Amino acid sequence: MVDYITEYNDLVKNVSYSKHKDYPMVPREDIIQELWLWFLEHPNKVEEWSKMDDQKLATKLVNRSLHNRAHDFCQKEKARTVGYELTDLSYYHRDVVEELLPSILTDDWSQPVFSDVNGDRKTFAPSEGGNLMAMQADVSYAFERISPHHQEILLQWYLNGRNSKDLGVALGLTDKNARMKVTRAIDAIIKKLGGRAPRPDKDYKKHSD
């Protein structure tokens, strides 16, 4: 374990600093402790990744896992501190945000049927459930807090018929790159809304010789 501490100490510090900025109510020392706990719980992953020929990729895999662990931990700690349950949170998927954006950009909060949040793929009409206005308010709030660059990308996306090809022409980009910019802008909104839903991270099974 000492070798891992030496090798990944800077990475743990960087991840904990980043997440503490997003969740200032969670002490950075607690985040650091949680990240080192991830190494203890995933010895097989760490061992296998440390033996990879491409160590840049190995570092990326560890970095992603640490960010995921810190994200999940901070969400739980924020819920405990503020006084709500994680089940009270709505995790917005890209397709839901994309369907809501036109009403936000035009300030016309009438909305067609679309997929519900939390990934259960159920569809509903605006009159059903009563949470459409709350969802629109959430996305509108988040949209106002992303960068002007991302706001402009989404506005151009809407003005060009929500079409990647037309947006690419307007921006002088390929269809793929135009769509990528839209995706990044939508992801910026999702981050402001609380990010992705927590997901389990299991260790690899120990290989027998």
Q: What is the mean pLDDT of each run of 10 residues along the chain (209 residues)?
A: 77 93 90 94 89 89 90 82 54 79 79 45 41 75 90 92 90 92 91 65 65
**2-22 and 28-41 are packed helices; what angle lies between their axes, rounded to 10 degrees?**
140
- From its phi and psi, is residue 129 left (phi > 0), alpha (psi between -120 and 50) or beta? left
* Residue appearing with tokens 């921006």: 171
Give the C-alpha separation, 113 to 94, whole Å. 15
Quote the pLDDT of residue 90.
52
Structural domain of 114: 94-192
Quote the pLDDT of residue 133.
72
Residue partners of 65: CB distance under 8 A and separation at least 6? 38, 42, 45, 201
The tokens of 197 are what? 């839903």
Largest separation between any pair of C-alpha atoms in the chain: 64
Quote the pLDDT of residue 113.
41
pLDDT tens digits, one per residue of 132-191: 777 777 788 889 889 999 999 999 999 998 888 999 999 999 999 999 999 999 989 888
Do 31 and 164 contact (CB within 8 A), yes or no? Answer: no
Quote the pLDDT of residue 78.
80
Shared domain for 105 and 182, answered yes or no, is: yes
Quote the pLDDT of residue 92.
72
Shared domain for 105 and 139, answered yes or no, is: yes
Question: For residue 201, is it within any domain?
Answer: no
Shared domain for 160 and 70, answered yes or no, is: no
Shared domain for 143 and 116, answered yes or no, is: yes
Give the C-alpha separation, 63 to 46, whole Å. 11
Residue partners of 206: CB distance under 8 A and separation at least 6? 44
> Per the structure, how many domains does the chain have?
2
Residue partners of 1: CB distance under 8 A and separation at least 6? 39, 40
CATH number reported for the structural domain that contains residue 133 in this entry = 1.10.10
Shared domain for 57 and 12, answered yes or no, is: yes
Do 174 and 180 contact (CB within 8 A), yes or no? Answer: no
Give the C-alpha separation, 58 to 60, whole Å. 5
Domain boundary among 36, 54, 87: 87
Domain boundary among 36, 68, 87: 87
Question: For residue 142, is it within any domain?
Answer: yes
Do 167 and 157 contact (CB within 8 A), yes or no? Answer: yes
Quote the pLDDT of residue 169.
92
Give ∠ CA 36-39-45 in degrees, rounded to 5: 160
Domain boundary among 87, 115, 130: 87
Question: For residue 127, is it within any domain?
Answer: yes
